[in-house]
Amino acid sequence: MEKSCCFFGHRDSPSSVRPKLTKAIKDLIEERGVTDFYVGNQGGFDSLVLSVLKQLAVRYPQIRYTIVLAYLPDDKSGIIETNTLYPEGLESVPKRFCIARRNDWLIRKSEYVICYVSHITGGAAQFMKKAQKQNRTVINIAL
């Protein structure tokens, strides 16, 4: 498996976790040789992760980060972001299952998972547990 990491966190994750998030990512780069990072685009935690990855990419030019979409972007959004990927097969998935299917893809592609899970309910907690069951190394920065 490639040295890669994905992220799961609550939509309302506080920006105060930024130092812990930055340290966790730096540790994976420096200590474990992780070079590929996959992040969603659904909430506050994803936005925070993307911001940290953009900042770290300047210091660590060997890393790559990819925004993994759950939905095909529409032309109305006006947002054009490079480094995006839309997993094959999602176009035939009913919309209400797209995020879950994308998250399954993220776990399959990643050896490491950084989470911000402060309560046991919700999608972030569900996918953190799923990653643990699939023997991924899970780092919960909420602890």
Confidence (pLDDT) at 132: 97
DSSP H or E stretch at residue 140: strand 137-140
Q: What are phi and psi of 23, to 5 degrees?
A: -60, -45
Number of residues in the chain:
143
DSSP 8-state secondary structure symbol assigned to residue 123:
H
CB 101 within 8 A of CB 93: yes
First to last CA, the chain: 27
Q: What is the chain's pLDDT, residue by residue, as a tens digit (143 residues)?
A: 569 999 999 988 999 999 999 999 999 999 999 999 999 998 899 999 999 999 999 999 999 999 999 998 765 555 556 789 999 999 899 999 999 999 999 999 999 999 999 998 899 999 999 999 999 999 999 98
User: Half-sphere exposure of residue 83, counting CA atoms within 13 Å on the CB side?
Assistant: 15
pTM for this predicted structure:
0.92
CB 114 within 8 A of CB 25: yes
CB 70 within 8 A of CB 42: yes
Q: By C-alpha distance, which of 32, 65, 63 is closest to 48?
A: 65
Two tokens, residue 42: 């659904």
User: Half-sphere exposure of residue 135, counting CA atoms within 13 Å on the CB side?
Assistant: 1
For the chain, the structural domain boundaries read 4-97+113-122
Confidence (pLDDT) at 83: 87
Confidence (pLDDT) at 43: 87
Whole-number Å distance between alpha carbons of 120 and 48: 21
